[in-house]
Structure 1
Amino acid sequence: MALVRWEPFREIDTLQRQMNRLFDELIPLSARTDDSHFLPAAELEDTPDALLLKIELPGLEAKDIDVQVTADAVAISGERKSETHSESNGIKRSEFRYGKFQRVIPLPARVQNTEVKAEYKDGILHLTLPKAEEEKNRVVKVNLA
């Protein structure tokens, strides 16, 4: 059996990270109101010729989404409007998030923002961002010591 050195500060650091994660998860739940903000999930794939970006925007129509692309970032904004329901004797509990959102995603390579292709289907926005020619042909010399 090996002896393991006890390091109390490592355990305190681990406890602090766990508490921070717990509060990060709880605070948005308690701070929600009808106009609370939400942040859509994103997935970015870097291929040799283009960057492929998927944004999860369920429940939105294409007309409610604004996409702006610069050479080095994508800005997506919009609004999910709440539905109005009338109930007489019931309690309504909703975990849906409504309101405006905005997300700016920095890109790892420069893109040709005039050649962007977009498709919105089943609540997923697919963006194909072709890389700029100088990014495709860029070679970086690495000096070894």
Structure 2
Amino acid sequence: MKTNGNAWAPAIELKSTDTDVILRAELPGIDAKDLDIQVSREAVSIKGEYKTESKTEDKEHQIYRSEFRYGSFQRVIPLPVAVENEQVKADFKDGILTLTMPRVEAERPKVVKVNVGGTLPGETGSSNS
């Protein structure tokens, strides 16, 4: 459904850690059973539907104004790095969907200890005189 002529999609937050990409989406008032979430290595697709509370017209409860959003929505979010899409963990609580997606091993930043001065950690200088 459209609101004021504009298509609607949920607000998201996308962040990254050294090991995971975390996507959070605001989906207040929607049931988990009304969501279709698909994750590829490069993107996340979230489809869903906000359903009206009443399926039939009720003349006793005529709506004069409603700013609620009803109907279908879809949002595709490109990911900044490749993820292990078969290891995604999902949590849906208080209208917030959280997807924790492990980065592909090759995409994880590697930290390497750099030796300054030619000695290895734990070594003292050379004792040759």
TM-score under structure 2 normalisation?
0.75
Does residue 31 in structure 1 map to residue 5 in structure 2?
A: yes
- Name the Cα RMSD after superposition: 2.2
SS in 1 for 2:97: strand
Name the amino acid aligned to 2:92: Y
In the alignment, structure 2 segments of 5+ residues that lack a partner are 112-129
Tell me the residue number matched to 1:10.
none
1:100 pairs with 2:72: yes
Structure 1 spans left out of the alignment, 5+ residues: 1-27, 140-145
Q: Provide TM-score, normalisation by structure 1.
A: 0.67
What letter is aligned with 1:48?
D
2:26 corresponds to = 56
Describe the shift of the 1:113–1:31 C-alpha distance in structure 2 as closer, same or farther (beyond 3 A): same
Residue 125 of structure 2 corresponds to none
Where does structure 1 differ by over 3 angstroms across 4 or more consecutive aligned residues? 87-91
Please identify which structure carries the higher strand content: 2
Q: Which residue of 2 aligns with 1:77?
A: 47
Identity %: 51
Once the two structures are TM-superposed, the CA of residue 70 in structure 1 deviates from its matched residue by 0.2
- SS where residue 15 of structure 2 aligns? strand
Deviations 1:20-70 (A, max 9, x none): xxxxxxxx75437xxxx4200000011111011101111111110010000
Matched residue, 1:142: none
Q: Secondary structure at the match of 1:55?
A: strand
3-state SS in 2 of match to 1:40 = coil
Residue pair 2:47, 2:74 contacting (<8 A) in 1 also: yes
Greater Rg, structure 1 or structure 2?
2
Partner of 2:88: 116
